[in-house]
Each structure stands twice: as C-alpha cells, then as structure tokens.
Structure 1
C-alpha cells in the first residue's frame, strides 16, 4: 500500500512538473488587439510581451490570423527564460508620415533564446514612404524605419516569416551572437530605395539559410564588425547581390572576417558577390572569405572587389587602407551582364593578397565581344577553368 501511494505521488509530481514547464500562450487578442487592419494594436502587443517576458516557463506571444495595424514597438528584455514570438497574422506598418518617421518598426532588444516564427507576413507598406527617401541627395533626410531589428540578441532563431515592401531595410542585426535566420522570404520592388534584405554589423556567428530575397538594394550586406557568417541556399534577385562593406569611410577599425557563401543563386542582380571599401583613411581588414558553388544568371558584375568605392563623387583620392586577404572564389558559373565579368580592383597601398579563382565560367551574354577580367594591385592565383581568362 505504501509503495503504491508513493508511486502515485511521484506520478502526480511529474504531471505537475510537465504542466508548469508547458508553453504558456499570451494571445494578443486577450490584451485588446483588434484584427481590423485599422486599429493601432501597439499597446496590446506590448502588454502581452511584458507578461510573457516575466513568465518562468516557456511563454509564447501569439498573434493569431487576421490583419493587425501596428505602430513602432520595442520588445525588450532580458526575460526570465526562452521566449517565442509567433506571428500567424498579417502585420501592417503605419502609412501616415507622422507615425512612421522612426528608426525601427519592430525591435527586439537584449534577449537570449528568442524565437520569431509563425508563417505570418510583415508588411512595411513602403510604397507610401519611398518618396521620402532622398538621403542620396539630402544630408538632412528623415529616417525611415527598418521592418524588424535585432539588437544584442543571442542564441536565437528567426524562421518561416515573410517581409514585404519595407520602408527601409527589412531585417537589421546589430550586436548579436549565434542568431539563425532561415526559411524566410523577403520581397520589395527592384526599384525601391535602400530596401536591403538583411543588414548586419558588430555581430558574430550568424547563419542565413534557405532564403528567397527580392529587393531594391543588397540582398545581404555585411558591415564593420561582422564575423563568422554562414550563408547558404539563398536565391537573390532582383537586388544588388551580397556585399561586404562599404568599409573604411571613417577612421575606425573596419574588420569583416570568416565569411562563407555557398550554394546560392543570383537572378538579374546588378552585382553578384561584392567587396567594397572607400578610398579614405579608415583602416581594417577583410579576410578568410569563401564564395563557392554559385550560379549567376544575367548578373551585371558577378565578381567584384572595389577598393575605390565612390557612389557619390567627389571622393577622397587616398588609397584604401583596408587590407583584403585570403579570398577564394570556387565553382562560380552562369552569365555576366557586363563584358568585365571579374573585377578585382584593389588598393595601391595595401594590395589584395592570397586571392584564388578556381573554376570560373561567366560568359558575357551581351553584344561586343567576350567576357574579360580586370585586376589591379592583387596577388593570387587561378586554377581550373577560367572564363573570362584570368588576369592574375
């Protein structure tokens, strides 16, 4: 009898333990959210987040199906444990200028073990704002918001989302470590200004896989302080390709290291894989990069290193002080939109070192001759097939 009684108590305690650690749902509708596409639901979302963040089990902020208007919100930690933000519905950003002149639309900050997923849609409604984006000509331009930004987020996962028509960059990653972004689609018109897909800086151990990105700027941009990035199974286009930089504009250290880009496809992008540094006093290094198994379909500049980057002349005439070394381009094929399919324009004061071209086949699909390659201030080697003929 005693043994049976003890066994029953153990079973009960185990059941209670499972119940306590089960995921707790914090449905935004329970906090007043209205899925009519017009009501501002910021307060309801923030209330649900606040309670979920203080839950000691496995909380989920739940956005059910429906259309929700949402003004600028910041979901901040630290929280008491792992937390999930599940978007099933359709989130719409503001279209009234007085409501959208902010740095970010949806911002996650100071969090560990965050998951953002659910298959929902983030609609930045950028068409209403792109006409305000005149930063290329106006130094006093207004700030348009990033759709979703992650600041100082660690050990986290973003997956199965859709981001469309961002007003500015779709996703920004800053000061993050061990962040995975997978199975997510990003889309904006090819002529939409500054709508980068993913932009990252001062972050390490970032994985981006199984993505489709169509946008008006870089599909992925890696800025100073980006280290240990793994990009794979990406389809990019339209857009400006995958870029490192621009680096060296200011006097700070500008390092980007240990980058892997594999098994990717570029369709009708202005550039393919690009490294760009300013001709200016800024110092730094770009090292340990590998671009491998990449298909370029009608890409304007498939392979490009530009250490005389100057989008808005006049620019400094100094040689770039950013050192580029240990860069491998392997098994890259398809077609080039310019007859200079490979451009390796390196710095006169710090020539590129240990650059390898292996099995390159990028014929020019336009009129006026075969594809060519251009090299300056570079030390490296070429092996295997080389079309255009190697300039190293």
Structure 2
C-alpha cells in the first residue's frame, strides 16, 4: 500500500512539473533595458545594457521581449545573436540614435540580428542613423579606399521574422538589409533620407526567400527596394516609393558567379518623382545568371524618369570593360501600369545581344509624356522577344 502511494505521489509530482514547464514556456517575460543600466539621455552609450538584456531574453525558455521604453537612447554598433530558446521580440518604443564619431560608425552594421528563429522587431519607435555626419565619407565611387559605412538594421540567417511599425531615418548606408533569410515580413514601416543622400537604399535583400514587403513608405537617396542575386519568392504590395531610384532587380552579373533571381511580384505600388520606376539592371560583364518569373501589376507612376526599364549595359561609373551581358532575362509581365513619365522615353528594353530578353509581356500600359512641342512618350527595344496586349501608350516596340 505504501509503495502504491509513493508511486502515485511521484506520478503527481512529475505531472505538476510538466504542467509548470509548459506554462512557463507559454508565458511572455519582458527584459527592460533600463533594468540593465540603460540611460535615456541621448548621450550615454547603452550598448552593454542592450546586449545584456538580449542575452538574458534569448536564454528565456518562454516568449521573451526586449523592451526599450520611451526615451532617447544612444547605441553604438550591436550584434544580437541566436539561436534563442524561444520566440523573441525586440520592442522599440523609444528613439535610438547611432553614433556620429567616425571611429565608431565605420562598421558594417549598426544593429545586427543573426541566427534567430521567430523574431519580431516592432514598437513604433525610431531608428536614427544620423547619416548627415557620415555621408561625406561615402565616396566609394571615387575613392577605392573609402570606409565601410554601416547599415542601420541587418538580418543575417534569420527565419520567420516580422518587422513592423518602425521608422528609420537618415541611415548612413542602407536602412535594412536581409541576407540569407527565410520568411521575413516587413510591414507598416516608414523609411526616409534626403534625395541626395548617397547609397541610402531602403531595403536590400540577397540569398533570401519568402520575403514580403507591404504597407511601407520609402523616401530615400537610392533604390527604394533592391533585390540581388539569390533572391526568390518575393511579394511587394502597397509600397509608396519616392524620392529614390525605384524598385530594382540587380545590379547582377558584375563578377563570374551565378546570379539567379526568380518569382518576384510587385503589385499596387506607386512611384513619386523617382529617377527610375521598375528596373532590372545587369552589368555588361562575365557574370552569368537567370532572372525569371517576374510580375509587375497595378502600378502608378508620377513624374518618374524611367518608368519601365531593363538595362543590360549597366555601367554607372564609366569607363567600364564591356561585353554582352550573360544574364538571361525571361518571363516578365508588365500589367496595368499608368501615369506620367518624366522623360520622353517611358519604356526602355536594352537587352543583351548574346542573350535577348524572352517572353516579355506588356499589357494595358498608359504612360503619358507632355513635351514642350506636344510630343508624346516613346519606347525603345533592343534584343527583345515577347508580346503586347491591350492598349499601349507609348506604342509598343515589342
């Protein structure tokens, strides 16, 4: 009888422990950076406090939140690494300021998340890259020994992430970089830097898949969104772009590596006073690759310099050693694109002589241009194979 009672108590104890562990795993625990010594005076370096809060949050077996309350916090370069023991959120309610001293901002990244599964970054706060102090150093086009300026926020090898309700301003370099990631969503985010700020791309991605960008406004000095080699399964919906250089694929093919990119859809977007609209650019150089499965639809252009452009002779800083591009572009659809062009040539398809663009579809295009002499918009096609459907303004050259 005693043995049975003892065995019963052991079973009840094991069951109770199991329930406790399960409940702990389902709880959310906050790790407030102020409890780790963070001071919201806009001057104190809070890097150690942020990193310590992250470390303990990452080790929590339940749901964890690193909490940055309202206030102005200076933070130097920080790296938040996993893997973590449970889902983790980085909640920014405050105003984060990057350093302005050259010795502190010459790094690859300001805020870096790496090797994490189930990450959320949100909170309605502000990321201030304080780029004005650094843009003069961003002269890589002329100076081969130029320093590397930091991305505001970078995600490396992150899976199942959601970035939302943030504001990023005045980045020193690119605002957000996504590299080697799977299933990352960026929504309800505002990105801004002056139109003349160098290399301040809004969102740049490479070697990633399952990327969604929605309900986001990007006003910057370079590409609003740039998709580089290894990018696939991207959905860009309801994005406002401008000023900036538009939504770009590439540049690709500068070196000898494979430069594949496919399954991209851009829909319900608007472009305001951008230098380019929807653009694909490849270098006239030895790099090989394939760009395929692209759909651009329901897009409005307002005073866009080059609304629709494929440039396979890309050479932003001549002189360049040129040869026909070896990147094959195929299966690209442009559907329901309207508005007005800032230049007479509203559609440019400058494709490779050795690998002509194939299976391009132009459907319901209406891009006006109002020249001084009443001239309308035109289109230019080189080495293109495809078809045109529905009304075409300018007259299709396919």
Short-chain TM bin? over 0.9
TM-score, with structure 1 as normaliser: 0.96
Q: Output one character per residue of 1:227-273: Cα deviation in whole Å (capped at 9) or x when no partner.
A: 11000000000000000000000000001100000000000000000
1:22 to 20, 24, 27: 27
Q: Output one character per residue of 1:118-139: Cα deviation in whole Å (capped at 9) or x when no partner.
A: 0100000000110111011111
Please say if 1:364 is aligned against 2:361: no
Aligned to 1:378: 384
SS, match of residue 29 in structure 1: helix
SS, match of residue 113 in structure 1: strand
SS, match of residue 161 in structure 1: strand
Distance in 1, matches of 2:21 and 2:363, equals 60
1:89 to 86, 89, 94: 94
Distance in 1, matches of 2:182 and 2:25, equals 30
Contact persistence 1:298–1:365 (CA under 8 A):
no
Aligned to 1:291: 296
TM-score, with structure 2 as normaliser: 0.94
Distance in 2, matches of 1:148 and 1:342, equals 34
1:340 to 342, 345, 350: 345
Please say if 1:390 is aligned against 2:372: no
1:138 to 126, 137, 143: 143
Distance in 1, matches of 2:395 and 2:98, equals 49
Aligned to 1:114: 119
Aligned to 1:282: 287
Q: Residues 352 and 16 of structure 1: is their aligned pair in 2 closer, same or farther, counting only changes over 3 Å?
A: closer
Once the two structures are TM-superposed, the CA of residue 315 in structure 1 deviates from its matched residue by 1.3
Aligned to 1:219: 224
Contact persistence 1:341–1:388 (CA under 8 A):
yes
Aligned to 1:7: none
Please say if 1:327 is aligned against 2:332: yes
Once the two structures are TM-superposed, the CA of residue 15 in structure 1 deviates from its matched residue by 8.2
Distance in 2, matches of 1:166 and 1:317, equals 33
Distance in 2, matches of 1:41 and 1:165, equals 20
Please say if 1:317 is aligned against 2:322: yes
Contact persistence 2:24–2:62 (CA under 8 A):
no
Pairwise CA RMSD of aligned residues?
Answer: 1.6
Distance in 1, matches of 2:86 and 2:370, equals 54
Unaligned runs of 5+ in 1: 1-9
Once the two structures are TM-superposed, the CA of residue 365 in structure 1 deviates from its matched residue by 3.1
Please say if 1:198 is aligned against 2:189: no
Q: Output one character per residue of 1:297-343: Cα deviation in whole Å (capped at 9) or x when no partner.
A: 11000000000001111112310000000000000000000100000
SS, match of residue 335 in structure 1: strand
Unaligned runs of 5+ in 2: 1-14
2:45 to 40, 45, 53: 40
Distance in 2, matches of 1:332 and 1:230, equals 17
